[in-house]
């Protein structure tokens, strides 16, 4: 029996969240009359990734992440003439209204729907994710969307996975394929649940010996090839 239940991550798998986030921070800085330097993009990426890793390990809460992210980032940059809370409001406004699909993502989702049932699995704040998905008209590509802010737990927690699988009709693990860009969220969750998984890795990130996916791909056509085989 082939795969016909697709558990698909959204951010940085379907929507370019990384690119949108950098653009959002830059826009917030400029609207606050703060100078934006090219190196800030890389510094923010590292800093924000460290916070989300702490959240996945349950070392901080989502509320703490959102409340402290920009005050701490401004402190990291040595900027003391701006309000981190204001930056956060402007950042969220941009993020919620300007989602961007990766090239080929819509076509990929269309083909997945031709092969079976698609379900979106995403970490994030309920209010923000709903607004972004509305703006992207994303809902039409899936039977259901499971947002961690509604589930009460984030990927890769078992609580989140259980929440999702209990709500998918006629779910059978041997028919399911989990697709996502994050080793520590998507692939870890899939492996823990003993579900076959695809690590979507277009940027060529270095893997981990303790988190080995069923498949690793750099683009959507390779996933479709796997399904044909």
Catalytic positions, written as ranges: 9
Q: How far apart are CA 21 and CA 12, in angstroms?
A: 11
CA atoms within 13 A on the CB side of 141: 23
**By C-alpha distance, which of 166, 167, 123 is closest to 143?**
167
SS3 122: strand
Q: What are phi and psi of 109, to 5 degrees?
A: -65, -35
* Three-state secondary structure of 11-78: ECCCECHHHHHHHHHHHHHHHCCCCCCCHHHHHHHHHHHHHHHHHHCCCCCHHHHHHHHHHHHHHHHC
The strand pairing partners of 178, in sequence order, are 7, 197
State the Cα–Cα distance between residues 78 and 60, nearest whole angstrom.
Answer: 24
Q: Which residues contact 225 (CB under 8 A, 6 or more apart)?
A: none
The packing angle between helices 84-97 and 126-136, to 10°, is 40
């Amino acid at each position: 029996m082939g795969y016909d239940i697709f558990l698909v991550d959204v951010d940085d798998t379907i929507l370019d969240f990384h690119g949108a986030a950098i653009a959002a921070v830059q826009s917030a800085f400029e609207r606050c009359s703060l100078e934006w330097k090219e190196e800030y993009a890389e510094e923010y990426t590292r800093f924000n990734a460290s916070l989300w890793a702490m959240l996945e390990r349950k070392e901080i809460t989502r509320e703490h992440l959102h409340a402290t992210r920009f005050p701490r980032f401004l402190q990291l940059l040595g900027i003391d003439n701006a309000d981190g809370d204001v930056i956060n409001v402007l950042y969220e406004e941009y993020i919620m209204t300007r989602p961007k699909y990766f090239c080929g993502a819509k076509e990929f989702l269309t083909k997945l729907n031709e092969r079976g049932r698609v379900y979106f699995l995403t970490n994030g704040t309920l209010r923000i994710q709903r607004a972004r998905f509305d703006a992207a008209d994303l809902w039409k590509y899936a039977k259901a969307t499971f947002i961690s802010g509604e589930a009460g737990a984030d990927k890769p927690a078992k609580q989140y996975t259980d929440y999702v699988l209990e709500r998918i009709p006629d779910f059978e693990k041997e028919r399911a394929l989990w697709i996502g860009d994050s080793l520590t969220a998507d692939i870890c969750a899939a492996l823990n649940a003993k579900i076959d998984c695809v690590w979507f890795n277009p940027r060529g990130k270095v893997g981990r010996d303790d988190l080995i996916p069923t498949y690793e791909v750099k683009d959507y056509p390779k996933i479709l090839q796997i399904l044909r085989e």
